[in-house]
Structure 1
Amino acid sequence: MKTLQMERLTRAAFAPFGDVIELEGARHFAINGGTTERYHDLACVDVTENGGRPLINLFRAQPRALPVEITMMERHPLGSQAFIPLTAGRYLVVVAPAGEFDPTQMRAFWTDAWQGVNYAKGVWHHPLLALDRVSDFVVVDRGGEQPNCDELSLAQPRRLTFEASAERVE
């Protein structure tokens, strides 16, 4: 079984797949008479294609133990999907570029506390991979009449562990 190299989640590293939602480096300013700090425009919500509308959901992820075996991926071809953690629990992110799925382009990231992600429309990703404890996430995605979730099983599963080698999976 091949192993995916884990990377720290940063805006630059994740840019091909969407947005990292975090306060550090975000545009912010005081509002409400100076009683509130607004962190502005943290992600590009893209859900209106073919009459879609934004949904706000809460997902409760059960913790996983490492190593995790990645056997499937999914994508949402009609809209972005944002995950914003409500606790400082660790979680992992596994992605591949939009378009025809290419397992050689899979990447895995570990998150710092309070980082969220916004998967761009069509980006392949694994469902939530919470670590340590049950973790709640606010999820902003697309509602509408058309199906908006494609799933596929990997021909060759990948192992996800912090002990991964320094070489990228090919």
Structure 2
Amino acid sequence: MSPVAAAPAAAAVAPSTKVSGWTTNLCAEELTYESFRPYGAVVQGWEGTERSPKGIHVTVANQGTAFKFHRLAYLPQNAEITPERRAPATDARKGCSIGVKHLDRSSEVKVYLPQGRGVPPGVAGLSAGASYLVVVGGNTNNVKAFLATSAQGVSIASNVYHAVIPLNEPIDFAIVSAATTTVTQTDIKVDVPAHTAAPVPPRVPTAEVPEKPVPQGVAINPVPITEELWAPYGELIGARGSKRSPITNSYPADQDGACTSIGLFRATPKAGLHRGQLFDVSLLERHIYTSQAFIPLGKDNLVGMGEAPLTAGGTFLVVVADNGPDDRPDTSTLKSFIMESGMGLNYRAGVWHHPVLTIDACLDLACIETQVSTGEFGKTYEPDCELVEYDRPIGQINVPALCDVAL
């Protein structure tokens, strides 16, 4: 087995150059998977398998609590994830013209994932209503502009000129890249149409829940996730996380088909997981050959554009354990964290964890990992995911009572 790749250095930025002919007027159009194909891919969730574009492999995943949209974009295997908060160029909700003075061009695929806005109680979050402008082109003859929502990420193909410009409100991006970037000066004007944020459906109150399960011992109280607490298991991804997150894999050199890619889990709350209740932990999994990152996307949609907005709220309940001397989870080391949607996380390869658990509402989680199989054509590779199931609970999580929710 080859060693885990070291974290790459920060992407290099070459001096800017001036290219004649980059003077044009554009009108921003709706961002869709099909319209963006000449330039890369769109990373988003769809309302169901019938809504996802042709050619995307979709499965029911996560023990039946998620749709997984597989391999929406492929990545270089030495990429890393960098958080970056970008201020809006202007408030474009009533329509406006924006000047684009430079375009980036990256030697590898580069991905921009707008993160959610949920933060712990007492912490100021970003305001609602964000959108962003994506300007792309292979040359001066096919430059286009798209208006994107914070529920959509974009993967820019290698050597495509591009600019990603927030509108209306600040956006926290998780940027995935291993590229050397050059900067080209331009004189492009983009007309941005007036647009209105789609109303976000309120969180649906949880239906009456059954009686609390019988305690099996001392329950684990989840704690808000922090860089320091998460350091033994990986890295945090977001404006409050200062470190880059390496995407690593150690698949055997003779293992064909190990692909690093971005997929998306549209994850729903799990049966038996309720606020103010105990949740039984009866299974854990690990990915011994790959790191695995989960990044909640935003929920701002626009009237008449994109998919139906998800309901407000959504919190990620994280459960981890150390590896034991028998190469199985050490159940005495179970820990649990609360992660709001304004933060993502990266599991280091080999970390035992519970499959995705969301509370209160559905979340779209971009997933970055290296795997051999996505399940298509009956092809599987067991070490992609090693799952241990127990006959009885190995621990209980004392799920916190309801607190204020954000998008």
Please state which band the TM-score falls in when normalised by the shorter chain: 0.7 to 0.9
Alpha-carbon spacing, 1:160–1:50, altered in 2? closer, same or farther (3 Å): same
Counterpart pick for 1:73 among 284, 294, 309: 284
Give the match for residue 318 of structure 2: 93
Give the match for residue 131 of structure 1: 359
How many residue pairs match? The answer is: 150
Q: Which is higher, the Rg of structure 1 or of structure 2? A: 2
Structure 1 outlier segments of 4+, above 6 Å = none
Q: Where does 1:105-124 land on structure 2 (aligned, <5 Å)?
A: 105-124=333-352
Residues 23-71 of structure 1, C-alpha deviations (whole Å, 9 max, x = no match): 1253xxxxxxxxxxxxxx6312112532533121000111133232211
- The secondary structure found in structure 2 opposite 1:122 is coil
Q: Distance in 2 between matches of 1:76 and 1:16?
A: 16
Name the amino acid aligned to 2:248. D
Give the match for residue 247 of structure 2: 45
Q: Percent identity?
A: 31
- The secondary structure found in structure 2 opposite 1:12 is helix
When normalised by structure 2's length, the TM-score is 0.35
How much has 1:163 moved relative to structure 2? 5.4
CA RMSD of aligned residues (A): 2.2
Give the match for residue 31 of structure 1: none
- The secondary structure found in structure 1 opposite 2:262 is strand
- The secondary structure found in structure 2 opposite 1:57 is strand
Quick check: 2:266–2:362 contact (8 Å CA) kept in 1?
yes
Give the match for residue 29 of structure 1: none
When normalised by structure 1's length, the TM-score is 0.78
Alpha-carbon spacing, 1:98–1:117, altered in 2? closer, same or farther (3 Å): farther
Give the match for residue 404 of structure 2: none
Name the amino acid aligned to 2:224. R
Unaligned 5+ residue runs, structure 1?
Answer: 27-40, 165-170
Q: Which one scores higher on RCO, CA 8 angstroms, separation ≥ 6?
A: 1
Matched, 1:152 2:377: no
Matched, 1:82 2:82: no
Residues 104-163 of structure 1, C-alpha deviations (whole Å, 9 max, x = no match): 011100013311111100000001111111111000011226431111123541221245
Q: Distance in 1 between matches of 2:241 and 2:385?
A: 32
Unaligned 5+ residue runs, structure 2?
Answer: 1-215, 299-312, 374-380, 402-407
Q: Distance in 1 between matches of 2:396 and 2:240?
A: 31
